[in-house]
Structure 1
Amino acid sequence: MVQRTGSADLPLHGGRVPGWLADRMTRLGAVISQAIVHHYGRDELLRRLAHPFWFQSFGAVMGMDWHSSGITTSVLGALKRGLKPLEGELGLHVCGGRGRHSRLTPAELVAVGERVGLDGPALATASRLVAKVDSAAVQDGYGLYLHGFIVADDGKWTVVQQGMNDANRQARRYHWLSEGLTSFVDRPHAAIEGQGEGTIVNLTDARAAASRQSQLDLLRDLGPDRIASELGKLGEGRARAPAPADQLALPHLELPAHHDVRPADVNLRRLHGNLAAAADRGPADFAELLLVPGVGARTVRALAMVSEVVHGAPYRFADPARFSFAHGGKDRHPFPVPIRVYDETIRVLKAAVGQAKLGRDEVLGAIKRLDVEARRLDRHARGPDVETLIAEERRASPGYGGRSVFGVEAPAQDLDGRSVVEFPSLEEL
């Protein structure tokens, strides 16, 4: 069913995703999508994309800035590139994008309809209506600049779009899901993310039905001149705006402005569960996974968090920062992207999905058990604090091929100019 699932503050960030990361995000996003469809079906992937907490965690596990608005653009871009060659296999099509690409969405949807036998013009109309609702019916001070429309071969779809407020340097992301949608103007959102900016005009709320009808009645009975007169009276203070308490209250995920990952940003108990599933139980219980050539302890740690993105329950995505401990972040927070680990994660997942297509689910099943074990172990697992974990990753970063927008991590050297970083073996990696 269509429902609001929460809201969040998204700091507005500029810049571009470097090519070395964009390529890896494309490949990892595609193979995670394949794994979700394999285990749970295409509809479930659409539901996940309509969940704002999961969407943010998905971007964080792919090495993007864990808290910023840039996750929206980069994730949709990665999926558009990565799922394009898989359209025939998955029956999913990613249209739209940022800026001028968003304005091409209706034409792209018409083309998809012609290829797979859908009503393309109806999809194009849905795209325009969604954009109009979030730019006109929901007047919250955020101008839309991104519109992504993901549609399946059976006509079901998810929309993710984002607006920005230059004055406060914030972004707001809106999620839509066609499942259960009966009206574009009566509580249609799956979720809205963004910082509260006082009273918001939200004509899509169910309690605004009388207001929507009154506007139509005014236009019919009074005409535009009389309406302009009434608006003038509002400007003179002869009418009062509704109190903020009248607005719909939503669960709120506040994504802070600071770049660094701090202890308050991470559910340490769950992070210890991820680490324990990989370190303590991995060698004993995941023989199928560990026998894959080149898979060592650090890669299993990354796979434990990827596994949660594929299999985790919705309540476990309230701390997106935790998922940045899989592959770091392009801005070096919490640590530089460990390229060697990232590539191993992609390789293992691709091999697992490839085998699953042939009916051999052993490796994909082993990855799934990492999530099961993490949830079981996080009740009792103990380990280092967040600062210690970050410090350890940064010390090891050169050995993992650590890289960020600032460049490749150079090994520390002793007084004689010799490297003091020992590069990990394949077993450790």
Structure 2
Amino acid sequence: MAQRAGSADLPLHGGRVPAWLGQRMTRLGAVIVEAIVLEYGRDELLRRLAHPFWFQSLGAVMGMDWHSSGITTSVIGALKRGLSPLSGELGVPVCGGRGRHSRATPQELAAIGDRVGIDGGALARASKLVAKVDSAAVQDGFDLYLHGFFVTDDGHWVVVQQGMNGDRRQARRYHWLSEGMESFVDAPHAAIEGRQQGRIVNLADRRAAPSRDRQLGLLADLGPTGIARELAGIEGSPVTAPAAEPLLPHLVMPDHHDVRAKDIVGRRLHAAFAAAADRGPADFAELLLVPGVGARTVRALALVAEVVHGAPCRFSDPARFSLAHGGKDRHPYPVPTKVYDRTIAVMKSAVVKAKLGREEELAAVRRLDAQARRLEATASGPSVEAIIAEERMNSHDYGGRSVFGWEPPADTGRGLGGQPA
């Protein structure tokens, strides 16, 4: 039975993703999805997409603003572009998006149904009901403006949609998973992201079933005029406090743009970097002989490997994944475009060869994640601040770029970097 799984605060940010980053996000997002489907299947991909912590981590490893609402729009857009040419092969098309793209979801689903032989009308109905529940049945002060629908060729689906509260400058993201769902109006949410702020009307909670039934009864017995008269008669009456909400995982995404040590579980970061240093020379020896490719790329690959293989409990600190490819707004540092491009190239090569039955490269990526988990209890390294400072010093060499432009050469000497990416 699908149910609410967590909540989070997301600062509401505007702006657009620059083309140079959007194109890379499209390629990296698509190849990560391919790797997950190859390794674990389409249903596992849907479970990942329905996990709010994993979704935020995916956006961070793709170079988006690690903490903001913009991750939702940019990730859905990148996956829609990247998976569209692969829909016949992977069977995981993406519909909807922001604004007018959201409104086109039913038509897109009907077309998919005609193409692959599933009930597109039922999917369109599900899409509309999901939007109605999160905009009407759950009245939490956030107005929906984005609706993304991921569907497999066998009719399983995930919805990721987002609302905004302009007065509070906050966004709330909602995740729905079709797996195990028995009702659209009885605790159907796989997750709701966003901090509870005051009293929330949630008629989709299973505890609200008596309220839903009584509302229908009142409408039948009294009519709209009679209901208005009854409401006027009880105004000012004491209100019984609702039953306490069950404790749920709560992800708080801070307002500050910079990545700080408190935003990252240090032992996990050090384990990933130690795994890169340990497995890199053994598993990527041929890669490291390529001019311009070095340990920095393998470090990024170690974080990508965790996004592909990591257990749900390991995504409680999405900021950590921004240390793979930086961020478009220069936090934690400018996007190292050379590293980013090599990460895509390595992952693409691994996936293409795995499709041909040669899985050694994809297995090497898997070993990076396994090694990181083995080293987590013992690995150590420089502070988060030192890692960020070194990356900024070498940003020009790594092709550092942000919305502010290309990074100039550092004024001072080279750090441990100054090495191939």
TM-score of the pair, normalised by structure 2: 0.96
Residue 237 of structure 1 aligns with which residue?
Answer: 236
What's the offset of the Cα at 1:421?
5.3
The CA deviation at 1:287 is 4.2
TM-superposed CA distance for 1:220, in Å, is 1.2
- Pairs within 5 Å for 1:379-394: 379-394=377-392
1:284 Cα deviation (Å)?
A: 3.5
1:189 is paired with a residue whose SS is coil
Q: Report the 3-state secondary structure (helix = DSSP H, G, I; strand = E; otherwise coil) of the residue aligned with 1:399.
A: coil
Match for residue 273 of structure 1? 271
Change (3 A) 1:328 1:269: same
Q: What does residue 331 of structure 1 align with?
A: 329
**Does residue 314 of structure 2 align to residue 316 of structure 1?**
yes
Whole-angstrom distance in 2 between the partners of 1:287 and 1:110? 48
1:153-164 aligned at under 5 Å gives the runs 153-164=153-164
- Which residue is 1:345 aligned to? 343
**Deviation at residue 239 of structure 1 after TM alignment:** 4.4
Equivalent residue, structure 2, for 1:83: 83
Contiguous gaps of at least 5 residues in structure 1: 415-419
1:344 CA drift (Å): 0.1
Tell me if the contact between 1:283 and 1:290 (Cα under 8 Å) persists in the aligned partners. Answer: yes
1 CA distance for matches of 2:266 and 2:199? 35
* Equivalent-residue separation in structure 2 for 1:20 and 1:422 (angstroms): 27
Residue equivalent to 1:375:
373
> Structure 2 CA distance, aligned partners of 1:391 and 1:233?
65
1:312-338 per-position Cα deviation (integer Å, ceiling 9, x unaligned): 000000000000000000010000000
Deviation at 1:379, TM superposition (A): 0.6
Distance 1:396-1:32 versus aligned 2 partners, 3 A rule = same
AA in 2 matched with 1:353: V
Structure 1 counterpart of 2:398: 400
Q: Does 1:218 align with 2:218?
A: yes
RMSD: 1.7
Q: How many residue pairs are counted as aligned between the two chains?
A: 421
Q: Does 1:358 align with 2:350?
A: no
**Alpha-carbon shift at residue 293 of structure 1 (Å):** 7.1
Report whether the alignment pairs 1:304 with 2:291: no
CA deviations over 1:375-428 (Å, ceiling 9, x no partner) = 1101100100110010000001000000001110000347xxxxx559978x73
Does residue 1:101 correspond to 2:93, yes or no?
no
% same residue = 72
Q: Is the alpha carbon distance of 1:206 and 1:293 closer, same or farther for their aligned partners in structure 2, counting shifts above 3 Å?
A: farther
Partner of 2:116: 116
1:428 equivalent to 2:420? Answer: yes
Secondary structure, aligned partner of 2:394? helix
Instruction: Determine the C-alpha separation between the residues in 1 that align with 2:396 and 2:347.
Output: 24
* Paired position in structure 2 for 1:206: 206
Which residue identity does 2:399 align to in structure 1?
A: G
Runs of 5+ unmatched residues, structure 2 = none
Report the CA distance between 1:229 and its aligned residue. 1.6
Q: What is the rounded CA distance, in whole Å, between the counterparts of 1:82 and 1:182 in structure 2?
A: 31
Cα distance in 2 for residues equivalent to 1:285 and 1:111 = 44
AA in 2 matched with 1:302: A
Displacement of 1:98 in angstroms is: 0.5
Determine if contact 2:390/2:415 at 8 Å carries over to the other structure: no
Task: Report the alpha carbon displacement of residue 28 of structure 1 after superposing the two structures with TM.
Answer: 0.2
Within a 5 Å distance, the mapping from 1:248-263 to structure 2 comes to: 248-263=246-261
1:283 to 261, 267, 281: 281
Q: Which moved more, 1:224-233 or 1:163-172?
A: 224-233
SS at match of 2:395: helix
Partners of 2:52 and 2:376 lie apart in 1 by 24
Helix, strand or coil: the match of 2:93?
strand
Counterpart mapping for 1:55-70 below 5 A: 55-70=55-70
Q: What secondary structure does 2:357 align onto?
A: coil
CA contact (8 A) 1:289 1:367 kept: no
Distance 1:95 1:273 in 2: 37
1:134 has 2:134 as partner: yes
Please state whether the residue corresponding to 2:272 is helix, strand or coil: helix
Cα distance between partner residues in 1 of 2:316 and 2:126:
30
2:15 maps to 15
The answer (yes or no) to whether the contact 1:279–1:297 under 8 Å persists in 2 is yes
Greater alpha carbon shift after TM alignment, 118-127 vs 312-321? 118-127
The alpha carbon displacement at 1:279 in A equals 1.3
**Secondary structure of 2:5's aligned partner:** coil
- How far residue 291 of structure 1 moved from its aligned partner, in angstroms, is 6.1
Aligned to 1:417: none
Q: Distance in 1 between matches of 2:291 and 2:152?
A: 36
Instruction: Note if contact 1:398-1:421 (Cα within 8 Å) is conserved in structure 2.
Output: no
TM (normalized to structure 1)? 0.95
The answer as to whether partners of 2:150 and 2:159 remain within 8 angstroms in 1 is yes
Q: CA deviation at 1:288?
A: 6.5
CA contact (8 A) 2:394 2:410 kept: no
TM superposition shift of 1:265: 0.3
Q: Give secondary structure in 2 for the equivalent of 1:38.
A: helix
Q: 1:411 to 1:288 in 2, by over 3 A?
A: closer
2:54 pairs with 1:54: yes
Report the secondary structure of 1:326's partner residue. helix
Q: Which moved more, 1:295-304 or 1:33-42?
A: 295-304
CA distance in 2, matches of 1:377, 1:412: 33
Q: Tell me which amino acid in the other structure corresponds to 2:210.
A: A
Provide the residue aligned with 1:43 in structure 2. 43
CA displacement at 1:206 relative to structure 2: 1.3
> Could you tell me whether the CA contact under 8 Å between 1:289 and 1:366 is conserved in 2?
no
